[in-house]
Amino acid sequence: MFIVVKYGDNKQQLFNPKCLAQALLANIRERCGCSEDDVLDLSDEDGNIKRISKRLDEDPEIVFRDRESLILVKEIKMISSEGAEERLYMPLLDQLEDDDSFIKRLNSSGPKRGAKRLSTTAGGSGKAASSGSADKANNGGSLSSRRVSNSGARLSVDKGGSRRSSRIK
């Protein structure tokens, strides 16, 4: 059995999922050039998260089909205005980074209005960073997706489909 993981600029790698999820994710992280700080997971091509990052001591083989094509995704932790921790998943496959419908499916329960992004920078204090004007420009609706790329760009999409971009400091 093997799986195909798609990432980056339309790249793909074959992986054998017959191991602990922790070992599989470490191998994916290394071969796909991801940072040690990134929380990774996989989704199918319909945007259904496999959640193997939550089952590190289990055999992930049971959640995959043989020769299944999967999208590498990154989990971004957010803090809502009520103080609840939320998770946002963003695809690490370039051709899907701007696909609003895929991102909405990936995050069927996206961050609530006023969510704040936790600092993920090396040496960061772990304090939440404000999500900025994108939330204010949302006119009271909840954000359905937000992309944080390696360059620090942020893409926000409100329920009406309006797109805004800003930079993270």
Give tens-digit pLDDT for 93-111.
999 999 999 999 999 854 4
Say whether both 80 and 163 belong to one domain.
yes
Say whether both 58 and 108 belong to one domain.
no
- Is the confidence at residue 17, as pLDDT, over 60? yes
- Is the confidence at residue 141, as pLDDT, over 70? no
Residue 152 in tokens: 């620090």
Mode of pairing for the β-strands spanning 116-118 and 85-91 = unpaired
Instruction: Tell me which of 43, 72, 101 is where a domain ends.
Output: 72
Say whether both 66 and 98 belong to one domain.
no
Range(s) of the domain holding residue 98: 75-167
Note the pLDDT of residue 108. 86
Instruction: Tell me which of 15, 39, 72 is where a domain ends.
Output: 72
**Nearest Cα residue to 76 out of 46, 29, 138, 120:** 120
Say whether both 109 and 40 belong to one domain.
no
Say whether both 86 and 139 belong to one domain.
yes
Say whether both 89 and 67 belong to one domain.
no
Instruction: Please answer whether residues 5 and 15 qualify as being in contact, where contact means their C-beta atoms are separated by less than 8 angstroms.
Output: yes
Tell me the H-state helices in the chain: 21-31, 100-106, 133-136
pTM to 2 decimals?
0.64
Say whether both 52 and 96 belong to one domain.
no
Q: What is the pLDDT of residues 35-65, one digit of tens each?
A: 999 999 999 999 999 999 888 888 888 889 9
Distance between CA 31 and CA 14 in Å, rounded? 10
Note the pLDDT of residue 138. 36
Instruction: Tell me which of 47, 72, 97 is where a domain ends.
Output: 72
**Nearest Cα residue to 99 out of 69, 137, 135, 73:** 73
Say whether both 160 and 83 belong to one domain.
yes
Say whether both 65 and 88 belong to one domain.
no
Domain total of the chain: 2
- The mean pLDDT value for 124-133 works out to 38
